[in-house]
């Protein structure tokens, strides 16, 4: 073998060794775990996401840090619990009302610039960073480009899509190109443009945060006819179940919502195909997640259903915090694997660092834990999971908090001054409150929850002096 050939081979090996991991992060708004075919939906059809799940690992217990959007989004960005970053409600949240027994604690209306985001951390290691879609973590001055992203397409202070999903919309940082343009398609197109125009010598983070399937519920025209026909298979009115003072939709039969789910599926498929065509799939970790459960529970029922999980967006029952969670990490995950080990949204930050071969930053991602062991098929370290939602919500939820440890889950309701205890292993639908039968377990979990709240100086609701029963 000639010296030239040897040198060429050594150079090639060196280039391969230096090749860095890219990241594509799909974040969907208000999508419950049961909205996808791969998790059991029969009304919604999501062939692209279902096929994607077959190429990576699907988590059956992927949790959002909060049952509403802004806190969970902050937790993904920072690896820190919403309590720690001071965002425990959607921004700006509901105003205090004389009709409520308790007052909301004060909350931040932005993600503090002192917080280090995953985009900032990756950027410090040479990554190109791209954001498209819903931000909802502060007004101008706190937008994605102020938090580590090189490019921001459509991310601003609002939670819902201003002007709706069809152009002409009124997004302050994304002008429509033509009338009747669909927002989800446009965000995907912009993401593909980034992939095509990026610097090929540098790794990238592409964070695609869809506004779908958040309200307003506007049918996706390409698929609405199909789902309207499919819905005719059902007879009678949509069934509901009482939930405290609300109603929960218990059947997926909403054609407009199903078409919006289909829009996400189409766009995910389009972008994954582009990764293949560009030869990037083998070097790119792809993550799929949602910020909170589907909107199923309201005073007069929501548009979606999380059945068999209880309740939905705004609630600390499983329907409000369990999310579709899929991770494909080439060379790490085995195709078509499923994990029943719980993980939470703070875990993405350290997981991405480890997958990128970068040092962990535990002082930054203080509440997250790398799930690379789980991705390899190993057991993660057992730990409790905490939720703190001391606010009233439009779903009719009232202030409370929760803890899960092993198979047990305790929910504490502040304005009702009561607790509920569930065995998630035997009762995943949380239909049988065991707090009276297991007072020692309930008390143990309550004390642990209170100790955790105290350790983070969590703000609690306070009595409302203007409240009249």
Domain assignment present for residue 438? The answer is no
Mention every residue, 6+ apart, whose C-beta is less than 8 A from residue 10: none
- E strands in 238-394: 240-243, 246-249, 284-290, 297-298, 322-328, 337-339, 343-344, 385-389
Give the span between the Cα atoms of 93 and 434, in whole angstroms. Answer: 32
Q: How far apart are CA 161 and CA 183, in angstroms?
A: 9
**Structural domain harbouring 74:** 18-378
Look at phi and psi of residue 113 and say left if phi exceeds 0, alpha if psi is from -120 to 50, else beta. Answer: alpha
Q: Considering the domain boundaries, does residue 384 fall inside one?
A: no
Residue 44 included in any domain: yes
For 163, counting Cβ atoms within 10 Å of its Cβ (0-12 exposed, 13-18 middle, 19+ buried), the class is middle
CA angle 430–431–435, rounded 5-degree value: 80
Q: Can you give the pLDDT of all 469 residues of the chain as single tens digits? A: 555 544 444 444 444 446 799 999 999 999 999 999 999 999 999 999 999 999 999 999 999 999 999 999 999 999 999 999 999 999 999 999 999 999 999 999 999 999 999 999 999 999 999 999 999 999 999 999 999 999 999 999 999 999 999 999 999 999 999 999 999 999 999 999 999 999 999 999 999 999 999 999 999 999 999 999 999 999 999 999 999 999 999 999 999 999 999 999 999 999 999 999 999 999 999 999 999 999 999 999 999 999 999 999 999 999 999 999 999 999 999 999 999 999 999 999 999 999 999 999 999 999 999 999 999 999 988 999 999 999 999 999 999 999 999 999 999 999 998 999 999 999 999 999 999 999 999 999 999 999 999 999 999 999 999 998 7
- For residue 436, is it within any domain? no
Count of domains for the chain = 1
Q: Token pair for residue 442?
A: 């309930």
CATH number at residue 158: 3.40.720.10
Residue 362, both tokens: 């535990």
- Determine phi and psi for 97, rounding to 5 degrees: -135, 145
Which residue is associated with the tokens 């439009």? 394
Is residue 42 within 8 A of residue 48, CB to CB? The reply is no
Within a domain: 136: yes
Whether this prediction's pTM lies above 0.85 is answered by yes
Strand partners, 389: 400
Q: Is the residue at 359 inside a domain?
A: yes
Q: Could you tell me the CA-to-CA distances from 277 to 23, 191, 196 in Å, in that order?
A: 16, 14, 11
Q: Is residue 200 part of a domain?
A: yes
Is residue 68 assigned to a domain?
yes
**CB of 165 closer than 8 Å to CB of 186:** no
CB-CB contact of 74 with 292 (8 Å): no
């Amino acid at each position: 073998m000639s010296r030239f050939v040897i040198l060429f081979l050594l150079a090639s090996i060196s280039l391969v060794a230096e090749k860095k991991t890219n990241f594509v992060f799909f974040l969907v708004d208000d999508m419950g775990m049961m909205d996808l075919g791969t998790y059991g939906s029969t009304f919604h059809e999501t062939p692209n996401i279902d096929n994607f799940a077959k190429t990576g690992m699907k988590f059956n217990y992927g949790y959002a840090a909060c049952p509403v959007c802004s806190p969970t989004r902050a937790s993904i960005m920072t690896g820190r619990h919403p309590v720690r970053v001071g965002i425990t409600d959607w921004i700006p949240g509901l105003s205090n009302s004389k009709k409520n027994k308790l007052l909301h604690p004060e909350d931040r209306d932005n993600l503090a610039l002192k917080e280090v985001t995953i985009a900032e951390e990756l950027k410090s290691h040479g990554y190109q960073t791209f954001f498209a879609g819903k931000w909802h973590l502060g007004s101008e001055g706190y937008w994605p480009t102020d938090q580590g992203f090189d490019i921001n397409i459509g991310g601003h202070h609002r939670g819902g899509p201003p002007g709706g999903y069809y152009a002409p919309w009124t997004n302050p940082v994304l002008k429509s190109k033509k009338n009747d343009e669909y927002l989800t398609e446009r965000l995907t197109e912009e993401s593909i443009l980034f992939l095509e125009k990026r610097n090929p010598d540098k790794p990238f983070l592409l964070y695609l945060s869809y506004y779908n399937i958040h309200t307003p519920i506007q049918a996706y025209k390409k698929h609405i006819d199909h789902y309207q026909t499919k819905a005719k298979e059902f007879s009678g009115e949509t069934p509901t179940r009482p939930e405290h003072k609300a109603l929960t939709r218990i059947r997926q039969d909403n054609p407009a919502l199903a078409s919006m789910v289909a829009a996400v599926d189409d766009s995910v498929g389009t972008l994954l195909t582009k990764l293949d065509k560009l030869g990037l799939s083998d070097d790119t970790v792809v993550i799929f997640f949602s910020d909170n459960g589907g909107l199923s529970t309201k005073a007069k029922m929501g548009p979606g259903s999380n059945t068999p999980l209880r309740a939905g967006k705004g609630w600390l029952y499983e329907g409000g915090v369990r999310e579709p969670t899929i991770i494909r990490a080439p060379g790490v995950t085995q195709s078509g694997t499923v994990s029943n080990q719980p993980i939470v949204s703070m875990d993405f930050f350290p997981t991405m660092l480890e997958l990128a071969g970068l040092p962990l930053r535990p002082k930054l991602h203080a509440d997250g834990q790398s799930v690379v062991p789980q991705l390899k098929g190993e057991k993660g370290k057992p730990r409790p999971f905490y939720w703190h939602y001391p606010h009233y919500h439009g779903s009719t939820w009232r202030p409370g908090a929760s803890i899960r440890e092993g198979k047990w889950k305790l929910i504490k309701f502040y304005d009702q001054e009561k607790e509920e205890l569930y065995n998630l292993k035997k009762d995943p639908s949380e239909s049988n409150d065991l707090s009276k039968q297991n007072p020692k377990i309930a008390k143990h979990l309550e004390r642990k929850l209170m100790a955790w709240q105290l350790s983070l100086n969590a703000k609690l609701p306070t009595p409302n002096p203007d409240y009249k029963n």
